[in-house]
Amino acid sequence: MKRNFILFLNGTYKDEDIDFYKSIIGSKTTVAVDGGYAFFDKAGIIPKYIIGDGDSLDKVPEDIQEETAVFEFPVEKDLTDGHIALDFCMKEDFETIIVVMPEIGEPDHFLGNILLLFNKEVKQKLREKRDISIITRHHEYRIIDNGKLELYDRAGETLSIMPISKSIMLNCEGTKYDAKGIKVDLGETRALRNKIVTNEALIKVSGEAICISSFKDEHLKV
């Protein structure tokens, strides 16, 4: 049976957001990525795994380690804790991976985490019809790599498409500004701030692009 993972990265988890994050866990396998353990501490939940170098993690209670597998890495290493944790999950037979990033935080970490979606191993898993996304409190980040993205029951939400390759050919259906074979070059902003207006939206991209969409809380709750 394929597993579904949810990873909580280091960051500030506001008290008013804890119930929302708890509501999207369901039966997913939980992973605290280093200081992301703060969420589990606040929520009163024991994670299945703790992965990281410990540089942003307060001491984990000893009794938790009886139920939690802890994988500790050196502080000085080639990959970030988030990258290591994502690789760990992708080695399993999985269906979905959601990476929770509670805030933008430090810009290099934020951009580095988003660009993990373009890692060659991630793109290969997406081609195998696995689902990998990053969410902040109100937005969802996905990539489209010479393919399509279907969004259901998202009417009223904003949608932005940004090229990562030199240029893309973009088609959008079910949006306020439908696009039919529009060329968007890297660095152009013409595909930002569209809005989904129907219950079924379809985005097709030739090339590589990142898709950022807002979401209503009920979209992710389980």
Please tell me the distance from the alpha carbon of residue 202 to that of residue 172, in angstroms, as a whole number. Answer: 6
138-173 per-position pLDDT tens digit:
999 999 999 999 999 999 999 999 999 999 999 999
- For residues 210 and 172, give the distance between their C-alpha atoms in angstroms, rounded to a whole number: 14
Segment (H or E) for 39 = helix 37-43
**12-59: pLDDT as tens digits:** 999 999 999 999 999 999 999 989 999 999 999 999 999 987 676 766
- Using DSSP bridges, classify how beta strands 29-33 and 49-52 pair: parallel, antiparallel or unpaired: parallel
200 SS3 class: strand
3-state secondary structure string, 130-174?
CEEEEECCCEEEEEEEEEEEEEECCCCCEEEEEECCCEEEEEEEC
Q: Over the stretch 108-145, which tens digit does the pLDDT of each residue have?
A: 989 999 999 999 999 999 989 999 999 999 999 999 99
Domain 1-137 matches domain 139-222 at the CATH topology level: yes
CA proximity to 33, closest of 115, 102, 126:
102
Cα separation, 205 vs 172, whole angstroms: 9
Report the pLDDT value the prediction gives residue 73, as an integer from 0 to 100: 80
pLDDT tier for residue 66 given thresholds of 50, 70 and 90: confident
CATH architecture of residue range(s) 1-137: 3-Layer(aba) Sandwich (3.40)
Tokens of 12: 């500030």
Q: Tell me the pLDDT band of 78, cut-offs 50, 70 and 90.
A: confident
* Domain 139-222 superfamily per CATH: Thiamin pyrophosphokinase, catalytic domain (3.40.50.10240)
Q: What is the pTM of this model?
A: 0.91
Query: What is the mean predicted confidence (pLDDT) over 182-204?
Result: 96
Please say if the pLDDT value at position 62 is more than 80.
no
Which pLDDT does position 166 carry in this prediction?
97
Q: Show me where the domains of the chain are located.
A: 1-137, 139-222
The answer to whether residue 65 scores a pLDDT higher than 70 is no
